Amino acid sequence: MIQSLRGMNDILSEEYERFEYFLTTASTIAKRYGFHYIETPLLEETALFKRSVGESSDIVGKEMYQFIDKGENDVCLRPEGTAGVVRAFVQHKLDKKGGIHRFYYNGPMFRYERPQKGRLREFHQFGVESFGVDSVYEDALMIMMVADILKALGIGYRLKLNSLGDQNCMPAYREQLVGFIESCGDAICGDCERRKLTNPIRVLDCKNEACQILYINAPKLIHHLCEGCQSDFDTLKTILDQHDIAYEIDTNLVRGLDYYSKTAFEFVSDNIGSQSAIAGGGRYDRLIEFLDGKPTPAVGFALGIERLMELIVMPETVREGYYLGAMDAQAVTPILLCAEKIRRTQKAVVEYEPRSLKAHLKGADRINARYCAVIGENELAQNTIWIKDLVEKTESVIPMNELLSLLAL
Ligand code: HAM
């Protein structure tokens, strides 16, 4: 039997209800914040991710679904959504137009990681990207939006916050950090040895415990921010305080993608095991020019939908629509005609096989219908239909025309 690939899951109906509930909730909130939907391709040129997410990142270095297509193009399945949205922004010359552009998106992402609970090779993100706003208020807006989405879904979280500085303060700090890493000699792991040369700050979130112990005394960027970055970081904290959004400063939060500067944040849950990051994001003011666009400030985030699935508190389901069943083979035709009309305004699910009333009532229960409508021999003869309201627990037999006019059809 052919199985789905490792780390790639089907989403079946019941689970999809959660998935859909998440998407509806998150999209409604994003629209309320003034964001517009954007859809970008799943497949992009590999160079896009090398130049944005960065060659030193694990995502590009180790985890890309990369191949040469039939036209000899080096392509890969997108490992994240930001790069594609930035490409579209530049390609459609919105950078030249100026002004503010706010997008939201959702869809599958692909990373060739070692699958485990909460870590898939195909997973889904809901993300937003905001272009053209320099102010740290927009960073706060991003965090507030994630907090709103999680609150609407009944999900508790911890928010981790850091500042990664900018081109004024980062180079000097990087030099200091490299000096510190060198002072550790060969006690650091092979990955950190590589990171020292490519993107030294990534050593700070090394998963190797021995490295983490060594880095306790590493210089912290947050103590070396330039005036502008420090002032923005202070303002951000004040805004979050004013909005009662609790946060923890995490000086090791450097994010796994190379494009960030200034604000970096991650929302984590303590209830889903080791893969605890449920959302991540930050500012990336340099990325648009790295991808040949006009320099434009930008900030965004993405939520990992699979990691949220088990945390979502679903609203109580309400019975809705009709279940229609025949108790006699002759009754199938009127049942189908009736269902077709009802479906113009609400749910109408038909059971074609003639069954007993008890079986039909069970069927109505199974699909959570509000009404169970049945036609048997008697109803057929009198052109009526038997209906039970499964909420009010009332039953009646009414002429077919009456039902349709009751439904205003
Ligand atoms: P990221 O932190 O790499 O950021 O991913 C965002 C979220 O996607 C994570 O917090 C996690 O919930 C989920 N996620 C990541 N990898 C996996 C996986 N293998 N299996 C299941 N879930 C996963 C980004 O992708 C950035 N593009 C976010 C961003 C948008 N920054 C600015 N704008």
Atom of ligand 1 nearest to the CA of 79: 25
The yes-or-no verdict on residue 10 having pLDDT over 90 is yes
Supply the mean pLDDT for the chain. 95
Q: Where are the domains of the chain?
A: 13-164+260-311, 322-408
When pLDDT is averaged across residues 52-59 and rounded to a whole number, the result is 90
Q: Which of 245, 262, 264 is nearest to 254 (CA)?
A: 264
Residue partners of 276: CB distance under 8 A and separation at least 6: 118, 268, 269, 270
- What per-residue confidence (pLDDT) applies to 49? 97
Atom number in ligand 1 closest to CA 129 = 33
| Cα–Cα distance measured from residue 301 to residue 146, given in angstroms and rounded to the nearest whole number | 8
Does residue 391 or residue 401 have the better pLDDT?
A: 391
Q: Is the pLDDT of residue 56 over 90?
A: no
| Average pLDDT score over residue span 125-141 | 98
pLDDT tens-place string over residues 163-202: 999 999 999 999 999 999 999 988 899 989 988 888 899 9
Strands of 60-100 (E only): list them.
65-68, 74-77
| For ligand 1, atom 8: residue with the closest CA | 304
| DSSP-derived 3-state class of residue 204 | helix
63 Cβ contact partners less than 8 Å away, ≥ 6 residues apart: 79, 111, 112, 113
- What was the pLDDT predicted at 355? 95
Instruction: Give pLDDT, residue 240.
Output: 98
Q: 0.85 exceeded by the pTM?
A: yes
Confidence of residue 392 (pLDDT cuts 50, 70, 90): very high
**Average of per-residue pLDDT across 38-61:** 94
Q: Which of 117, 257, 268, 272 to mutate to test the pocket of ligand 1 (most atoms within 8 A of CB)?
A: 257
Confidence of residue 256 (pLDDT cuts 50, 70, 90): confident
Q: Give CA–CA dist 129/126, Å, rounded.
A: 11
Protein residue whose Cα sits closest to atom 3 of ligand 1: 256
Neighbours of 373 (CB within 10 A): 24
Which CATH fold topology does 322-408 show?
A: Rossmann fold (3.40.50)
Mean pLDDT for the stretch of residues 25-52: 98
Give the residue from 177, 227, 224 showing the smallest Cα distance to 202: 177
- The per-residue pLDDT for 409 is 65
How far is ligand 1, taken at its centre, from the CA of residue 269, in Å? 14
Exposed e or buried b for every residue in 37-69, given b needs 16+ CB within 10 A?
Answer: ebebeeebebebbbbbbbeebbbbeebbbeeee
Q: What is the mean pLDDT of residues 122-127?
A: 98
The pLDDT confidence band at residue 373, using thresholds 50, 70 and 90, is very high
Binding site membership of 127 for ligand 1 (Cβ less than 6 Å)? yes
- How would CATH label the architecture of 13-164+260-311? 2-Layer Sandwich (3.30)
Confidence of residue 205 (pLDDT cuts 50, 70, 90): confident
Q: How far apart are CA 166 and CA 225, in angstroms?
A: 8
Site to probe by mutation for ligand 1, drawn from 35, 78, 86, 307 as the one with most ligand atoms within 8 Å of Cβ, is: 307
Q: What is the pLDDT of residues 145-155, one digit of tens each?
A: 999 999 999 99
Binding site membership of 57 for ligand 1 (Cβ less than 6 Å): no
403 falls in which pLDDT band (50, 70, 90)? Answer: confident
Contacts of 227 (CB under 8 A, 6+ apart): none
Which of helix, strand or coil describes residue 278? strand
In the predicted structure, residue 55 carries a pLDDT above the cut 90: no
| Inter-residue contact 202 to 211 (CB < 8 Å) | no
- What is residue 401's predicted lDDT score, i.e. its pLDDT? 85
